[in-house]
């Protein structure tokens, strides 16, 4: 496909165009074609320009507080011209409480002060061609992590009652835990015992008691995946992979992203048993 | 008589009018704090620094600086209706603020009435909506204009708002020569960075020189322009570019006034400046010192001004809005404190401290009070105002001051080579330089080469949403109705007559338009009506 075409527009009378200009330049650096309307455009002028220039996406910027009136008018003007399918993103000085209203009125996403231009560019790329973020689905559930006070005390149920095979016990200093792996089909249970008071597992136990702590997904190319997630604004606990048990590369995704479930990405080296 | 003796004499004269705040200034350990610390052994002391209140004013423009009077604490405010803003003004005055500073909404700043289609969604948002003299009367209700000085951030239609202010002054019975205040009236930086222009450069420069001339004769205590680097910096410039482009613009105004036949020493003393204060503390302090020295040299050596008042760069400072973060907004209080301190160490005449929530919205009353308290704490508790220009003689600050002066002069030369500031703006030179730096800044923040606390480092998972000021959406409708009812109740014929005369006079380049605008204002002509008459004659600027 050709270059993504973007219209950056300043609706209303606001003259602050530092942000609009910086974003125009950043999107150009990301290989997009950017048309900037200049200041003081009415919603109708913006809709007309978008249609005339045949853009894929519109970016609106306002710092004057007129967004609640003007942004929805741009959407209306697009719909009136049968161009309601052009997505609109927006930014500027927008109080967070106004965001739901603007989304409801048809703005795809609001990027407020402090947003990174990379995140914006990747959002647009994904919006226009969703396959742009190209990640294979995880291969399997690598393990389910269960926080326990003591592996020694917990282990007998898993081995004796369930009859699972204990593969080994090791200390993972980077995470402050001792882990025991129990094989179950193509997957495993991972029992986690804190090594010290400041271990995250100890904090988990203090807060919630014993129980399921995380689910680990087996992936390829963990670093690429993390980079893409980062650019797409996916909240990560580890922006770079650390070394985990069995010399795997691991990184955690923030539980907010996955409906309260803590997900771990892990990648085992070629050849290592997994 | 030595320079030192001259300074001592000027101190004696000054303290008679403005006694020092204390008989003696001391530290907690009872060490005396002297008025001035000097190393007169350096050869270049007098040439480079000079004494406070003496050429080239590196150390400040008054002989005693803040030993006598603190800077003016002037918080920029305005939102919604004139009545509402009037309440905030009187609150700020009660809280110890010493000057007013009016923010107008965008329709007012661009010369549209509140019911103009172009004004939609903008009425009362970033400032107060003023359509006619009636609104101005409400805005200044019970504020004595002979005692309070008022700064108005108004540029393209500055002449109209100045006339409204004068008309209110007359109604209050204040003699015109007692009116004090400032209009921003700096159109060149609007083309460069701020965007509230109406007319093309040539007629805009005419209106500005008309104001210079009118005020010199009628309101001699009014600052006729505030040549502003603030917005240039906010748009992304460096400290050096801020000073360079501001001074280049200043020279363009001086050139225009000279060309219109005004005498330099008649208008130059009423030129004021307006700078930004960002986070790099020492660079900011040095920037202010350098700016004063550069302007003094230009006025004395290049323009041959004779009156020392023409050499002095008096300036207002505002802390840097673009340095504030929406994340962890309370951190902004600390940024503002550092920036305000730099402005004070740089010898500012007045100061606006930003509120912590300005990356999110207009400030709430609580935030605006903390911002004012920040200045009051610096003034009354820190002791930094007890001696003059305490950073003088610091190897670092003096070298920074020299280096900034050098770099600024290079930029000014480049602007002159392009044919002066107006030409450089029309050619997009300054805009490109600023944008280039803005983009580089953004990249270095994203790469975390530049750390912004709370934004790209030391982040919080959960941001707390503070309470924000909301402008009532119903206000726009109320203001539309108000201007409509004023239109119905005034003497239509007289309005028409004054506007027709204004239009005729605007055709003639050598006529001063201010008295004609004043006539129209007094008949309650709207700002839109007046600006439309001028739009028809002057045309509109549409950007580079």
Rounded Cα distance between B363 and B355, Å, is 6
A-chain residues within 8 Å CB-CB of B543?
A: 38-39
Q: Determine contact: B326 vs chain A, CB below 8 A.
A: yes
Any chain B CB within 8 A of the CB of A25?
A: yes
pLDDT tens digit sequence for B350-361:
999 999 999 888
Tell which of A66, A67, A70, A98 to mutate to test the B interface (max B CBs under 10 Å): A66
Q: What is the DSSP letter of B63?
A: S
CB pairs under 8 A between A and B: 101
Cβ-defined contact of B121 to A38 (cutoff 8 Å): no
Helices (H), chain A: 18-29, 43-52, 67-80, 99-104, 117-128, 151-156, 200-208, 222-231
Q: What does the alpha-carbon distance between residue A71 and residue A63 come to, in Å, rounded to a whole number?
A: 12
Whether chain B has a CB inside 8 Å of the CB on A69: the answer is yes
A95 at the B interface (CB within 8 A)?
A: yes
Q: Is B325 on the interface with A (CB under 8 A)?
A: yes
Q: Percent of chain B having pLDDT more than 90?
A: 88
Of A26, A42, A95, the CB nearest to B361: A95
Q: Do A15 and B196 touch (CB under 8 A)?
A: yes
Q: How far is CA B251 from each of CA B66, B113, B233, B268, rounded to the nearest angstrom?
A: 29, 33, 19, 11
Indicate the helix (H) or strand (E) that contains B188: helix B187-189
**Element containing residue B338 per DSSP (H, E):** helix B331-345
Whether B327 and chain A come into contact, CB under 8 Å, resolves to yes
Residue among A48, A54, A45 nearest A12 (CA) = A45
State whether A21 and B125 contact (CB < 8 Å): no
DSSP track, B343-411: HHHTT-SEEEPPPTTTTTSSPPHHHHHHHHHHHHHHHHTS-TTSSS-TTTT-HHHHHHHHHHHHHHHHH
What mean pLDDT do residues A14-23 have? 94
* pLDDT higher than threshold 60 for residue A272: no
pLDDT digits (tens, 9 = 90+) for B430-472: 999 999 999 999 999 999 999 999 999 998 877 777 888 877 8
Q: Give the best residue of B121, B440, B479 to mutate against chain A (max A CB count within 10 A).
A: B121
Chain A, 184 to 223: residues with Cβ < 8 Å from chain B are none
pLDDT at B43 over 80: no
Query: Looking at beta carbons, which residues of chain B come within 8 Å of A97?
Result: 465, 468
Interface test with A, best of B116, B120, B361 (most A CBs within 10 A): B120
- Convert the pLDDT of each residue in A241-268 to its tens digit: 888 877 888 999 999 888 889 999 999 8
Q: Is the pLDDT of residue A115 over 90?
A: no
Residues of chain B with C-beta less than 8 angstroms from the C-beta of A14: 106, 122, 126, 195
Predicted local distance difference test score (pLDDT) of residue B323 = 97
Nearest to residue B310, comparing CAs of B322, B319, B302, B320? Answer: B302
Residues in B closer than 8 angstroms to A73, CB to CB, are: 120-121
Contact B106 A64 (CB under 8 A): yes
Query: In what side-by-side order are the strands of the sheet with B314-319?
Result: B222-223, B181-183, B150-152, B99-102, B72-77, B350-352, B314-319, B271-277, B225-228
For the stretch B109-145, pLDDT in tens is 999 999 999 999 999 999 999 999 999 999 999 999 9
With beta carbons less than 8 A apart as the criterion, state whether A216 and A144 touch: yes
Assigned token pair, A37: 């309307």
Token code pair at residue B508: 């003639």
Residues A10, A40 contacting (CB under 8 angstroms): yes
Q: Quick one: pLDDT at residue A274?
A: 43
Cβ neighbours for A178, distance < 8 A, ≥ 6 positions apart: A151, A169, A170, A171, A172, A192, A193, A194, A195
pLDDT tens by residue, B165-203? 999 999 999 999 999 999 999 999 999 999 999 999 999
Q: Cα A212 to the chain's mean position, in Å?
A: 23
8 Å CB contact of A38 and B543: yes
Nearest-by-Cβ selection for A12 from B121, B325, B471:
B121
* CA R_g for chain A: 25
Residues 6+ apart with CB under 8 A from A153: none
Which 3 state secondary structure label does DSSP give B230? helix
Q: How far is A151 from chain B (nearest CA, A)?
A: 32
Q: Do A26 and B359 touch (CB under 8 A)?
A: no
pLDDT digits (tens, 9 = 90+) for B396-441: 999 999 999 999 999 999 999 999 999 999 999 999 999 999 999 9
**A35 phi/psi in degrees, rounded to 5:** -110, 125
Tell me which H or E stretch contains A187: strand A187-194
- The answer to whether residue A31 neighbours chain B at the CB level (below 8 Å) is no
Residue A25 is predicted with a pLDDT of 96
Q: Contact B355/B374 with Cβ under 8 angstroms?
A: no
Which helix H or strand E contains B73, and what residues bound it?
A: strand B72-77
Query: What is the rounded CA–CA span in Å between residue B194 and residue A14?
Result: 9
- Minimal C-alpha gap between A42 and chain B (Å): 7
* Tokens, residue B422: 């107006």
Which chain A residue's Cα is nearest to B197? A15
> Which residues 65-104 of B have a C-beta within 8 angstroms of A?
none
Contact assignment for B122 to A12 by CB distance below 8 Å: yes
Nearest to B397 by CA among B340, B472, B347: B347
pTM, to two decimals? 0.83
* B471 contacts on A by Cβ (under 8 Å): 65
Task: Using CB atoms, pick whichever of A12, A68, A118 lies closest to residue B446.
Answer: A118
- Provide the pLDDT for residue A131: 59
Q: Is a pLDDT exceeding 90 seen at residue A173?
A: no
DSSP string, B92-150: HHHTT--EEEEPBPHHHHTT--TTSGGGTTTTTSSSB---SHHHHHHHTTT--TTT--E
Angle between the N-to-C axes of helices B281-297 and B395-417, in degrees from 0 to 180, rounded to the nearest 10: 50
In B, residues 457-516, which contact A (CB 8 Å cutoff)? Answer: 461, 465, 468, 471, 473
Tell me the CB-side half-sphere exposure of residue B390, using CA atoms within 13 A. 14
**What is the per-residue pLDDT across A43-88, written as a single tens digit (0 to 9) for each?**
999 999 999 999 999 999 999 989 999 999 999 999 999 999 999 9
Distance from CA of A22 to the nearest CA of B (A): 5
Q: How far is B170 from chain A (nearest CA, A)?
A: 32
List the single residue in A13, A18, A93 with the smallest CB-CB distance to B235.
Answer: A18
Query: Could you tell me if B376 lies within 8 Å of chain A, comparing CB atoms?
Result: no
State the DSSP code for A254.
P
Residue B440 touches chain A, beta carbons under 8 Å = no
What span, in angstroms and rounded, lies between the C-alpha atoms of B99 and B105? 20
Cβ pair B245, B192 in contact under 8 A: yes
Which residues in chain A have their CB less than 8 angstroms from residue B120's CB? 12, 66, 69-70, 73
Q: Who contacts B478 (Cβ-Cβ below 8 Å, separation ≥6)?
A: B81
CA distance, residue A31 to nearest chain B CA (Å): 16
What would you report as the CA-atom Rg of chain B, rounded to the nearest whole angstrom? 23
Residues of A in contact with B327 (CB under 8 A): 114
Q: By CA distance, what is A68's nearest residue in B?
A: B121
Q: What is the pLDDT of residues B277-316, one digit of tens each?
A: 999 999 999 999 999 999 999 999 999 999 999 999 999 9
Residues of B (178-197) whose Cβ lies below 8 Å from A:
190, 194-196
Judged on CB neighbours under 10 Å (0-12, 13-18, 19+), A130 is exposed
The token duo for A246 is 């069995």
- Our CA-based measurement puts residue A24 at a distance from the nearest CA of chain B, in whole angstroms, of 10
- The shortest CB-CB distance from B465 to any of A26, A96, A117 is to A96
**Residue in B126, B194, B360 nearest the CB of A64:** B126
**Which of A245, A36, A231 shows the shortest CA–CA distance to A121?**
A231
- The model's confidence at residue B372, banded by pLDDT at 50, 70 and 90, is very high
Which residues are within 8 A (CB) of B278 and not within 5 positions of it... i.e. 6 or more apart?
B233, B239, B284, B320, B323, B339
Contacts with B9 (C-beta within 8 Å, 6 or more apart), sequence order: none
**Is B453's Cβ below 8 Å from some Cβ in A?**
no
- Please indicate if any CB of chain A lies within 8 Å of the CB of B338: no
Q: Which residues does B17 contact at the CB level (< 8 Å), separation at least 6?
A: none
Q: Assign A163 a pLDDT band (cuts: 50, 70, 90).
A: very high
Q: In this complex, do A21 and B438 lie within 8 Å of one another by their Cβ atoms?
A: yes
In what order do the strands lie in the sheet containing A187-194? A165-172, A177-184, A187-194, A140-147, A211-218, A263-267, A249-253, A242-243
Measured between beta carbons, the chain A residues lying within 8 angstroms of B473 are 68
Quick one: pLDDT band at residue B394, thresholds 50, 70, 90?
Answer: very high
Question: Phi first, then psi: what are they for A114, rounded to 5°?
Answer: 95, -5
Chain A residues in contact with B195 by the CB 8 A cut-off are 14-17, 39-40
Give CA–CA dist B442/B444, Å, rounded.
Answer: 6
Cis peptide before B56 (omega within 30 of 0): yes
User: Which tokens belong to B163?
Assistant: 């006339």
């Amino acid at each position: 496909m050709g270059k993504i075409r973007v219209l950056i527009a300043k609706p209303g009378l606001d003259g602050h165009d530092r942000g609009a200009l910086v974003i125009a330049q950043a999107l150009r650096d990301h290989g997009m074609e950017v048309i900037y309307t200049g200041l003081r455009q009415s919603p109708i002028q913006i809709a007309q320009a978008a249609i005339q220039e045949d853009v894929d996406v519109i970016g609106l910027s306002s710092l004057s507080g007129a967004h609640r009136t003007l942004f929805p008018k741009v959407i209306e003007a697009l719909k009136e011209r049968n161009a309601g399918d052009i997505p609109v993103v927006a930014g500027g000085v927008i109080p967070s409480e106004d965001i739901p209203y603007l989304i409801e009125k048809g703005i795809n996403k609001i990027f407020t002060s402090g947003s990174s231009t990379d995140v914006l560019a990747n959002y647009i790329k994904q919006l226009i061609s969703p396959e742009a973020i190209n990640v294979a689905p995880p291969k399997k559930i690598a393990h389910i992590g269960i926080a326990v006070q003591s592996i020694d005390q917990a282990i007998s149920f898993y081995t004796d009652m369930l009859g699972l095979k204990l593969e080994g016990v090791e200390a993972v200093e980077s995470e402050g835990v001792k882990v025991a792996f129990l094989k179950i089909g193509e997957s495993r249970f991972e029992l986690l015992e804190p090594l010290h008071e400041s271990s995250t597992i100890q904090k988990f136990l203090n807060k919630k008691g014993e129980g399921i702590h995380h689910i680990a997904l087996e992936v390829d190319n963990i670093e690429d995946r993390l980079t893409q997630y980062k650019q797409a604004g996916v909240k990560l606990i580890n922006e770079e992979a650390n070394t985990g048990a069995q010399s795997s590369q691991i990184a955690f995704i923030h539980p907010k992203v996955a409906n309260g479930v803590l997900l771990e990405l892990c990648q085992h080296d070629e050849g290592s048993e997994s | 008589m030595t320079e030192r003796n001259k300074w001592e004499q000027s101190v004696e004269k000054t303290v008679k009018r403005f006694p020092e705040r204390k008989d003696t200034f001391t530290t907690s350990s009872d060490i005396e704090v002297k008025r001035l610390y000097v190393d007169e052994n350096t050869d270049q002391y007098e040439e480079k620094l000079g004494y406070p209140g003496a050429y080239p004013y590196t150390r400040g423009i008054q002989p005693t600086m803040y030993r006598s009077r603190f800077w003016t604490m002037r918080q920029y405010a305005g939102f919604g209706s004139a009545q509402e803003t009037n309440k905030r003004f009187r609150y700020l005055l009660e809280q110890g603020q010493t000057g007013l500073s009016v923010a107008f909404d965008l329709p007012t700043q661009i010369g549209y009435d509140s019911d103009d289609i172009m004004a939609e969604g903008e009425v009362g948002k970033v400032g107060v909506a003023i359509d006619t003299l009636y609104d101005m009367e409400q805005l200044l209700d019970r504020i004595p204009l002979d005692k309070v000085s008022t700064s108005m951030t108004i540029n393209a239609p500055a002449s109209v708002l100045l006339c409204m202010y004068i008309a209110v002054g007359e109604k209050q019975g204040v003699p015109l020569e007692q009116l004090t205040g400032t209009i921003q009236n700096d159109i060149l930086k609007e083309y460069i960075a701020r965007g509230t222009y109406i007319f093309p450069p040539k007629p805009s420069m005419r209106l500005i020189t008309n104001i210079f001339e009118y005020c010199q004769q009628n309101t001699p205590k009014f600052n006729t322009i505030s040549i502003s680097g603030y917005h240039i910096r906010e748009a992304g410039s460096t400290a050096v570019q801020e000073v360079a482009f501001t001074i280049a613009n200043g020279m363009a105004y001086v050139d225009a006034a000279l060309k219109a036949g005004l005498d330099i020493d008649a208008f130059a003393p009423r030129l004021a400046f307006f700078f930004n204060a960002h986070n790099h503390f020492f660079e900011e302090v040095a920037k202010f010192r350098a700016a004063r020295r550069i302007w003094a040299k230009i006025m004395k050596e290049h323009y041959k001004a004779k009156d020392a008042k023409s050499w002095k760069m008096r300036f207002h400072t505002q802390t840097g809005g673009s340095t504030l973060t929406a994340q962890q907004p309370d951190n902004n209080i600390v940024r503002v404190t550092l920036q305000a301190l730099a402005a004070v160490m740089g010898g500012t005449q007045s100061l606006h401290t930003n509120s912590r929530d300005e990356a999110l919205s207009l400030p709430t009353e609580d935030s605006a009070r903390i911002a004012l308290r920040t200045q009051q704490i610096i003034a009354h508790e820190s002791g930094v105002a007890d001696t003059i220009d305490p950073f003088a003689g610091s190897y670092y600050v003096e070298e920074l001051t020299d280096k900034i002066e050098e770099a600024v002069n290079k930029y000014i030369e480049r602007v002159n080579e392009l044919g002066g500031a107006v030409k450089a703006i029309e050619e997009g030179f300054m805009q490109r330089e600023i944008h280039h730096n803005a983009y580089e800044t953004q990249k270095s923040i994203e790469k975390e080469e530049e750390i912004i606390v709370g934004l790209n480092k030391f982040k919080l998972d959960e941001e707390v949403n503070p309470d924000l000021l909301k402008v009532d959406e119903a206000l726009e409708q109320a203001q539309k109705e108000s201007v409509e009812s004023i239109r119905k109740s005034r003497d239509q014929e007289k309005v028409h007559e004054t506007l027709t005369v204004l239009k005729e006079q605007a055709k003639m380049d050598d006529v001063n338009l201010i008295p004609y605008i004043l006539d129209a204002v007094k008949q309650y002509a709207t700002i839109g009506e007046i600006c439309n008459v001028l739009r028809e004659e002057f045309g509109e600027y549409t950007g580079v």
